[in-house]
Amino acid sequence: MKLKSYFAKSVGEAIERARGELGPEAMLLNSRKLSAEQMHLGTYEVVFGVASEVLPARKAQAPVQAAAPSQSDNFASEMAEIRRQLETMKQSIASGSGAPAGRFHPPIRPELEMLRHDLVDGGFSHALTAELIEAADKQLRAELNPFGPNSGYKNLNLPDPQTAERALLAHVESRFTVNAELGKPNSNRKVVMLVGPPGAGKTTTLVKLAVNHGLSTRTPLRVLSTDTLRVGGAEQLGSYARILGVGFEAVQTLFGLDQALEECANKRLVLIDTPGFGPADMDEAAQLAAFTRAHPELEVQLVLPAYIRSSALEKFWERFEIFSPSKLLFTHLDEIETYGGILEHAMKTGLPISFLTNGQGIPQDILEATKPSLTSWISERSAVAGLSAA
């Protein structure tokens, strides 16, 4: 097999160049994003292979005066080139480009390799990206040969690029869930507590929920706040409540919170704001978490800012896991362009995503989470839709 690397600004550009030079039989073997020091060559190095017997015939070269290289010289040169290409592939795989060691095979559609970079650039880890690409590739291969790899049957009609993209998107969406509801299921009264780190936007989000799921539906509503230590915490929420004409109470203790819940037993929706718990506040957080466990009708939703890195999301999860939250609510989506990080976090925790906030506007800047709204960025960033089928 003849191997050749192409350096290009995109994987799609490399595919077009390879097809033009090596022919339609050129097979994409591997690709990697170049380091900053190599960016003068391009953005990606893409390795293609083609069997020697199907290489396009070369045009006859005009005779030259210098002696032609000997057959042994040509053989040594080709072997050196093959060794260099194999070493490049080995380094790329070892650096986390996707395929597990000893199990590498190119995807059935080169567009899947293009989507690999879109997913990684969009916030997915290399490991999860490899799983998703492999799952989509496995599905496409099964559709191509429904009788199994050992049946001897071979369907030469490859799926089109859009089918490959849809297969990948379907596997992404199958890995997470959404549930845009407030409160425990089958409960006459919805009691919801928002918890999260400082600055996550809990108070503003609670007001948006109060308007959209309380006032707009004429649902009897009560707002409570346990954020009495932070300067201006409860006062801000109290001001919003007065403007909206909603009942509000700031509680100083867990006993006071228990009493407040009893007093508003006739309210069909109760929203509870909490202070942003930092690492130094975990004793207080543990007490509040114990209170929620003693009140099974109380649902906890974890509010997290979408713009933070995956490592920070994991630390926040470790901090707030004591609350046993049932849903994730992401804020500040207007500050990011891709949602790979928050989707992978939802996949790791197994919790559904409930709502998304995308601005400070009250009450409009909040959306019910849906799978298409959380995965549409993949198609928008992808160049696959613009390619014709091979």
Least confident of 244-258, 291-305, 372-386: 372-386
The structural domains of the chain, ordered by start, are 2-55+83-176 (no CATH), 190-369 (3.40.50.300)
Distance CA 118, CA 136 (A): 15
Written as six digits, the tokens of 236 are 């801000």
pLDDT tens by residue, 99-113 = 444 444 555 567 677
Report pTM: 0.71
Sign of the alpha-carbon dihedral angle for 335, 337, 341, 344: positive
- Which residues touch 112 (CB under 8 Å, ≥6 apart)? 133, 136, 137, 140, 164, 168
pLDDT at 5: 82
- The whole-chain average pLDDT of the chain stands at 80
pLDDT tens by residue, 8-38 = 887 777 777 877 787 766 776 667 777 776 7
Query: What percentage of the chain has pLDDT greater than the value 70?
Result: 74
- Among 283, 285, 274, 122, which residue's Cα sits nearest to residue 200? 274
Distance CA 217, CA 198 (A): 30
Residue 64 binned pLDDT confidence (cut-offs 50, 70, 90)? very low
pLDDT tens by residue, 332-370 = 999 998 999 999 999 999 999 999 999 888 888 899 999
